[in-house]
Structure formats: C-alpha cells, structure tokens
Structure 1
Amino acid sequence: MTHHRHSVSAPDAPDAVGAYSHAVVSNGLVFCSGQVALDPASGELVEGDIGAQLTRCLDSLATVCESAGARLADAVRTTLYLTDLPGDWSAVNEAYGAYFTGAEPPARVAIGVAALPKGARVEVDAVVALPD
C-alpha cells in the first residue's frame, strides 16, 4: 500500500517556533501542529484572557486548514493543552463552544501541562478531514 503525504505551510498563520510543518496531509486527513496564541503579524503572544488566547489558536488552526484545502469545522479531533486546566476550564468551554457551533463538534481531549512555548496558557492541535 502506498501512503502519500505532504507538508503544508500556511503563509497567513504564525511562523512555526520550531522544526515542524504547520500541517501534514495524509490519506484524506490533515494533521495540524499545535498553535499557541501568536499574532501572525508580530509573532508575539496576544494579550487577553484565556478565551482570547484560545480564539487566536483556533483562528490560526483555521488558517492552516484552509491552506491544506480543508475547514476547521471538519475537525474530527482537537487536543487542548492548558497550563491551568481547572482554573480555565469554564472559560475554555465557553470560547470553544462559541467557535464550534455546529451540531457535531469534534472529539476533544484536554490535557494539563506545566508550561507552553512563549508563555502561552493554551495550545491546540487538530486532525481534520479533507472534503470528499
């Protein structure tokens, strides 16, 4: 069986802060690298509460998905990494729910972590289905 894969670079998303692709496409799925709340123009962490940071992460993931020919609305799974899981849980659920308003939100995992790049409070990655 032949597996085809190719990397995706999203010019309108924040630059990668390490040696990785914004996403890799393989077998009808887009595997998006984690996004922290960086402003795409400045590369600096956005100001604001956890809701603002999460929204910026999701906006960046949406940009990556578009560069791969997909939509974040077609995510099959997201993973959230949070530096204050218990303290931010309610605000995260509110901001996340506002972003995924469809009847079928993706599967989701939330993991508490000690620290994230650039002092971010949240990082989000996703696996997204390409359109048929």
Structure 2
Amino acid sequence: MKRSSGAVGRRGLRAGLIVFVLAGSGIGVTSVEASAATACPQGSVCFYKDANFQGGISIQQRLVESPYQIANFVNSHFQDGTTLENQVSSVINNSDRTLCLWSNRNFQGQYNWGVTSHFYAAQIPNDVMTSARTVPAGQSC
C-alpha cells in the first residue's frame, strides 16, 4: 500500500496500548482493539476535527458501504456542521476495510495516508485531507 507516512499495523495486536510513532513526524497509529477510543461504532470510519480524537466527530458509513468513497470532503460534515475538507486531524478506522486518505479532491495530492482495518491514527497530516476511499483489507490504496 502506498503511503507517504509509512505507518501500518495489524489487526489482532493486543498488548495493552500499542503505539507506533513515526520518527520525527509526530504521527501515531494504534490498534483500536487495544485502545480506550470507543466513541467510533464498530464497522464505522470516524474522523475527528482535532488530534487525539478531540473536537467534533464525523461518522462516515459511506466509506464502509457502497460507493466506499468520498471524492470531496466539502459536502461531508462534522456533527457541529463544519465541513471535513482540510479539517480532519485524527481518524478511527473501525471497519474491516483499509482506509485511504488524500490531501486533494478526487483521490489526488501530495499526501496519501492509509489506515488498516481496526486501527486508528491519533494524528495524521493536520488539516489537509480532502478525499477518502476504502478498499478490501490487503489491497493497495
């Protein structure tokens, strides 16, 4: 899977709170099963406005059901009504699919970030993500 940040985890890792921190980037990825972050329902993808799952939340079922994508975050919103576009700072992928994020609309851009199934990222490239899709586990973004 292509990633600019290079972090990936595996489902089933359960050793308390497992955190992989990328050297120099300040980006962390952790197993959902090992975390206390339970605000995101099972089988869902959740975006948070701030790092560490703070601020507004947006539960995106259309990333785990057909069409499995959002080409432009401008029409997707946090619960407080603000757009997701360039506002997402952390994400929980509590689905059985791999989540792929891009910094530009229509799955383009400098950043391409992937979060495997049942993992979360406490801090992703801040406020730059603009489109997303999910693919079956094991497939490339």
TM score, norm. by length of structure 2: 0.29
Structure with max Cα Rg: 1
Choose between structure 1 and 2: higher strand proportion.
2
Choose between structure 1 and 2: higher helix proportion.
1
TM score, norm. by length of structure 1: 0.30
